Structure 1
Amino acid sequence: MTVVKDREVVESPPVRSQTEIPAGAAAAPRRLRRRWWAPLLALLPVFAFLGIFQYWPAISGIWFSFWNWKPSGQSEFLGFDNYVRMFGDEVWWSSFRNLGIIFVFGVVMWVFPLIAAEMLIALRGARSAFAYRTLLIIPMAFPGVVTALVWQFFYDPNNGVINEVLKAVGLGDLAHNWTGDPNWALISLLFVGFPFIAGLPFLIMYSALQNIPKELFEAAALDGATGIRRILQIDLPLMASQFRILFFLAVVGTLQYGFTAYILTGGGPDNATVVPILRVLTVAFQTQNWGYAAALSTTLFAITLFISVLVVFVGRSRPAKSVAVEEKH
């Protein structure tokens, strides 16, 4: 084919038919199809370890919850007797009351990392913002056992920091056995980690505020929306998806709560700080009733799974609904 351009005959390259495909290009998909099994083969060790160390213990726990399980002896099948017994376990259900108090208190205390994130985002100096952000994030790397032991020292009735400070300022009458009094033990657990700034909630909130365009802040300032008014009308609505993530993590984390209570109080005194996980451990290791402990842990797993699915479903349904409304308009 020739093309006349500026009175010169130019030979254009031949147009290749769509059916003319190089042999190498046609062979490439074939090689890919032949190797579809390679990723699956690479994932087999992962699924094997998950099955051995994750799925099998969960499945075996569900199975043994129907038995009077004796690991070193002959087990007796009980059917649903363990679950029927669970409904009359007052300590088990009171542990959920304590868990509810811990969850509500933890969510309310999100106000502290929110204030810290708002103050940090207001800093103009990049170096100072980086320095303060680093100082607030570093404590996340500390092991939880370190935090629990530090607060155990704070609450010590004899030489604890809190009682010593009260005595030093002339308020020795307020010195107390904070974790040994049933009326104060749960409250003492709630304040472990005060002021609750350093942690994942702060990191998520700060990242969300960083993603808000500065033009919105400038426009809000021109309209007179500053301070708390801007936070309520602009920041919090734009952080809705991040708060849903935090709520989901708070639900799952609270249902698994028990490490701090185990170190500081062991669930006491008089079951004042008992939580579901501690109740399971007590039934399993102190009373040696492994089948009933399996029933309790299975119930806790079912509750965690149900609430997790519910939170994820609600989090997905809302954006879809809002998109549909926008398309309708």
Structure 2
Amino acid sequence: MDVLTDLLRGAQARQSTVRQLIQRPPWALTFADPPDLTLVTILAGHCWIGFDEPARPPRRLAAGDIALLTGDADHTVRDDPGTPPQVVIRDGRKESLSAEPVASQPLRPRTYGDGLPGATVMVRTAYTLHGAVGARLLDLLPPLAIVAAGPRTRATLELLSAEVVRDEPGQDAVLHRLLDLLLALVLREWCIRPGGKIPDRTNAFADPAISGALNLLHGNPAHRWSVAELAGRAGMSRAAFAARFTELVGRPPLSYLTDWRMTLAADLLRDSDAPIAIVARTVGYQDAFAFSTAFKRARGVSPSAWRRSAIDPD
């Protein structure tokens, strides 16, 4: 299993909202208290998207472009950088900031705006992510990443444009699977392009030997991996492999493995009532005491304390 697949599976991305917005200038929408991860997809026209901070200027999106946003900072989508916010959307409710707020009447299923010719058409999808794996995925992503229009996403966007306005049996299932596909495509496009930053802010995916080693670690984290075995699988000497892995990933191979095991263990402790010894074996520790020591070193608390805090945060 490759790294991105493993992260997406563990993060269990779920859509909380899917909305198509059709707006003619001037318009500006601020989204307050956003979820873990948001996709803004431009189907027609263009817009500007940003965080309303001087240090982070807004970015322009054209038809076919997709913006990926993470974190809890408010962001604004508008027709022009000079258009002031007209509406704030917070907790699913709209608050008007202008005497002439942006049009938002229902037009079709999941579709709002003015619906007039020449408008910008976009789909905004809000995702929630799960547990420690979800947090790890978010940590590897920037506040704003843009994937430009291209052949790899075009067919999915065409399907999304056709399906988002329909109201037929199984419609939610169709949309959610399309959006899962779109999210995976966007993350893949972003992380394999020059300067992509998964995993751990590196270009490790571009190196076949190191990428292959990462896939081995994620495919079987409970295996008793050694640097020598990983180096042999990569066709490199032990010293050369360890140096190359550390350079690209930012930490030594076994340190990366331990960190990933602790991430998996944190979610197993949170989401199941399996005994700690079983959790330990699942992530590669035959000795529950050694596992508890490693977990406390990584998380600052014992496995049992972590589980209690996950059940009762107060």
The alignment's TM-score, normalised by the length of structure 1, stands at 0.22
Higher strand share: 2
Larger radius of gyration: 1
Higher helix share: 1
The alignment's TM-score, normalised by the length of structure 2, stands at 0.23
